[in-house]
C-alpha cells in the first residue's frame, strides 16, 4: 500500500468514478429483504431534502479555517472498497469489501512504520461492515451474517511486532455452544421467512454495525435482518435479541453512557431503547424519532450524549437535542450542504464530521445558540465516502499544519475511507 501526499484542494487527474457503479455492493441482501435492498441501495443516491426541518447552517461562505485544513496523506493500493475504519492506540484498522482486515500505523508522517499488514486475508471472503476493539479483542461484523472475534496477541506500537504475533480468530458468533444450547427447545426458534425458522441467536442477514457498552461488558450488533442483539463479551454468549426492532434493515447503532440504545433504519425511523430493570432485564422501546424521509444510514452522539446526529439519504444531518426536561429527544434543526446521501458520521470533541455519496467530507462546529458552521469541505475522493474516524492530533510538533502560526487551538486528524479504495488522512486546525 503506497502513500501519496495531496494538498487541499485536491484536483484529481484520474477519471472520476461514477457513484452509480457501486450499486452492486448492496445486492448481497437475502431474498427475504427485497424491500431492504431497495432502500439500502438508495443510500448512494440523492433523495429530496427536508423542507419541514429548519436549517442550522447560515447561508454564507466557508470559514477562513478552510486554509488551515489539508490532506496529509492518501493510503493507496487497496484491492477493494473501504467499508469501515477504527482507531485503537496508534493503530488504524481497515475493513474492506473483499473481507480483508488491515492494520497500519495511524500517523501518516511516520515513514518508517507507514505500511500496512494483513490481519485477516479473505478468511470468509465476506465484506467487513464494522470493526470495534476492546482490550486484546477485535470484533468484526460481516456480510455473511456472522461476527468474528480476533485475539490480539501483541498490541505493541510496532507494526512489525504486531505482524509477527498473528491475529487469531478465536470465536465466531453465535458460538457453537450457544447454537447447541438452543437447538432442542421450540421456544428458541423464530420465523425468519415463510416456512423457514432458525434459533434467535442467529443473525440471518448482513451484520451492519457493532458497538460496545460504556462499561465494556456488552457487545451490541445491528443487522439488516431488522434485529439487534446483545452479547456478553466475557464468554461471547448471546443474552438477548430484539426481534423486528424495525420494519426494515437496521443500518446504524449508537450507545449512550447512561444505557440508551439508538438504532437507525432503512424504514426512515430512529428508535430509542432502554434496558428494563428487574427480573426480565430486556430492552424496551422508549421513543421513535420520525423526521427523515428516506433511509437512515448513520448515527453519532455528542461527547456528553446530549445531542444525537442522524444522517440519511435525504442529504440532511438532523440534530436531535434533549428537551428542557432532559427526557425526550426533539429536533433542533438540520445541517445542510451535502448534495447526495449522508453515508457516515463521527464526533470528536465538539466537531461533527460527515461523509457523503457526493465524495466529500464536511467538518461542522456548533456556534452561538443552536447554529452550526461548516468549517471545511474536504475534496479529493473519487467515490462515495463510506466511513470515517477521527481523533485529536497528538503529533502537533511533527505536523505540517504549522499550528503555532495560527495561535491557540486544537489540531485533529480525520480518516476517511471510500468506495474508490483509498483512505485519506486530513489535518484539521481549529482555533
278-323 pLDDT per residue, tens: 777 899 999 999 999 999 999 999 999 999 999 999 999 999 998 8
Percent of the chain with pLDDT over 70: 77
Q: What is the pLDDT of residue 367?
A: 83
* pLDDT band at residue 29 using 50, 70 and 90 as cut-offs: very low
Q: What is the pLDDT of residue 346?
A: 98
Q: Is the dihedral of CA 356, 357, 358, 359 positive or negative?
A: positive
Q: Is 343 exposed, middle or buried (0-12, 13-18, 19+ CB in 10 A)?
A: buried
What mean pLDDT do residues 368-379 have?
90
Mean pLDDT score across all residues of the chain: 82
What mean pLDDT do residues 325-345 have?
92
pLDDT at 404 > cutoff 80: no
Can you give the C-alpha Rg of the chain in angstroms? 21
* pLDDT band at residue 89 using 50, 70 and 90 as cut-offs: confident
* pLDDT band at residue 35 using 50, 70 and 90 as cut-offs: very low
pLDDT at 197 > cutoff 70: yes
Q: What is the pLDDT of residue 109?
A: 61
pLDDT at 195 > cutoff 80: no
Q: What is the pLDDT of residue 325?
A: 75
Q: What is the pLDDT of residue 121?
A: 61
Write out the three cell numbers for 277. 430493570
Q: What is the pLDDT of residue 158?
A: 57
Q: What is the pLDDT of residue 371?
A: 86
* pLDDT band at residue 154 using 50, 70 and 90 as cut-offs: low
What mean pLDDT do residues 360-372 have?
90
pLDDT at 381 > cutoff 50: yes
Residues 6+ apart with CB under 8 A from 428: 68, 69, 351, 363, 375, 376, 393, 411, 412, 413, 414
Q: What is the pLDDT of residue 183?
A: 84
* pLDDT band at residue 4 using 50, 70 and 90 as cut-offs: very low
pLDDT at 364 > cutoff 90: yes
What mean pLDDT do residues 317-341 have?
91
pLDDT: which is higher, 85 or 398: 85
Q: Is the dihedral of CA 151, 162, 346, 343 positive or negative?
A: negative
Q: How far is CA 196 from CA 9, 31, 192, 241, in A?
A: 53, 12, 6, 18
Q: Is 122 exposed, middle or buried (0-12, 13-18, 19+ CB in 10 A)?
A: middle
CA distance 149 to 129: 14
What mean pLDDT do residues 374-384 have?
95
List pLDDT tens digits, range 224-276.
999 999 999 999 999 999 999 999 999 999 999 999 999 999 999 999 999 98
Q: What is the pLDDT of residue 147?
A: 97
pLDDT: which is higher, 61 or 292: 292
Residue at grid coordinates 426533539: 330
Report pTM: 0.85
Of 40-49, 205-214, 343-352, minimum mean pLDDT range: 40-49
Give 91's strand partners.
88, 105
What mean pLDDT do residues 138-161 have?
82
Of 13-27, 51-65, 327-341, 358-372, minimum mean pLDDT range: 13-27
pLDDT: which is higher, 212 or 49: 212
Q: What is the pLDDT of residue 163?
A: 53
pLDDT: which is higher, 399 or 277: 277
CA distance 60 to 367: 14
Percent of the chain with pLDDT over 90: 58
pLDDT at 24 > cutoff 60: no
* pLDDT band at residue 193 using 50, 70 and 90 as cut-offs: confident
Of 179-183, 192-196, 247-251, minimum mean pLDDT range: 192-196
Amino acid at each position: 500500500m503506497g502513500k501519496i501526499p495531496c494538498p487541499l484542494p485536491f484536483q484529481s487527474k484520474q477519471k472520476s468514478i461514477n457513484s452509480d457503479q457501486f450499486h452492486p455492493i448492496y445486492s448481497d441482501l437475502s431474498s427475504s429483504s427485497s424491500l431492504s435492498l431497495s432502500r439500502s441501495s438508495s443510500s448512494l443516491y440523492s433523495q429530496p431534502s427536508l423542507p419541514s426541518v429548519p436549517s442550522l447552517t447560515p447561508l454564507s461562505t466557508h470559514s477562513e479555517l478552510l486554509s488551515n485544513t489539508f490532506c496529509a496523506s492518501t493510503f493507496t493500493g487497496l484491492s477493494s472498497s473501504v467499508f469501515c475504519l477504527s482507531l485503537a492506540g496508534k493503530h488504524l484498522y481497515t475493513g474492506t469489501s473483499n473481507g480483508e482486515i488491515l492494520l497500519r500505523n495511524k500517523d501518516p508522517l511516520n515513514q518508517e512504520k507507514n505500511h500496512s499488514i494483513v490481519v485477516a486475508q479473505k478468511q470468509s471472503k465476506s465484506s467487513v461492515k464494522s470493526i470495534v476493539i476492546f482490550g486484546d479483542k477485535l470484533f468484526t461484523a460481516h456480510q455473511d451474517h456472522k461476527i468474528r472475534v480476533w485475539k490480539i496477541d501483541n498490541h505493541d506500537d510496532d507494526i512489525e511486532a504486531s505482524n509477527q504475533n498473528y491475529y487469531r480468530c478465536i470465536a465466531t458468533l453465535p458460538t457453537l455452544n450457544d447454537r447447541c444450547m438452543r437447538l432442542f427447545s421450540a421456544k428458541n426458534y423464530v420465523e425468519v421467512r415463510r416456512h423457514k425458522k432458525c434459533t434467535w441467536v442467529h443473525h440471518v442477514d448482513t451484520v451492519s454495525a457493532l458497538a460496545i457498552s460504556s462499561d465494556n461488558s456488552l457487545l451490541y450488533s445491528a443487522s439488516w435482518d431488522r434485529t439487534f442483539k446483545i452479547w456478553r463479551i466475557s464468554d461471547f454468549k448471546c443474552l438477548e435479541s430484539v426481534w423486528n426492532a424495525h420494519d426494515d434493515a437496521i443500518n446504524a447503532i449508537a450507545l449512550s453512557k447512561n444505557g440508551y440504545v439508538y438504532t437507525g433504519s432503512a424504514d426512515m425511523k430512529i428508535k430509542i431503547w432502554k434496558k428494563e430493570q428487574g427480573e426480565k432485564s430486556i430492552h424496551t422501546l422508549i421513543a421513535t424519532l420520525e423526521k427523515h424521509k428516506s433511509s437512515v444510514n448513520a448515527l453519532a452522539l455528542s461527547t456528553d450524549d446530549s445531542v444525537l446526529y442522524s444522517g440519511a439519504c435525504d442529504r440532511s444531518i438532523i440534530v436531535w437535542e434533549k428537551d428542557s426536561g432532559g427526557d425526550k429527544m426533539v429536533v433542533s434543526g438540520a445541517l445542510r450542504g451535502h448534495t447526495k446521501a449522508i453515508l457516515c458520521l463521527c464526533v470528536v470533541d465538539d466537531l461533527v464530521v460527515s461523509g457523503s455519496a457526493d465524495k466529500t467530507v464536511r467538518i461542522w462546529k456548533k456556534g452561538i445558540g443552536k447554529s452550526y458552521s461548516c468549517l471545511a469541505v474536504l475534496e479529493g475522493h473519487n467515490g462515495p465516502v463510506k466511513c470515517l474516524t477521527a481523533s485529536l492530533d497528538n503529533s502537533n510538533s511533527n505536523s505540517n499544519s504549522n499550528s503555532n502560526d495560527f495561535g491557540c487551538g486544537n489540531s485533529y486528524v480525520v480518516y476517511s475511507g471510500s468506495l474508490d479504495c483509498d483512505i485519506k488522512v486530513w489535518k484539521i486546525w481549529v482555533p
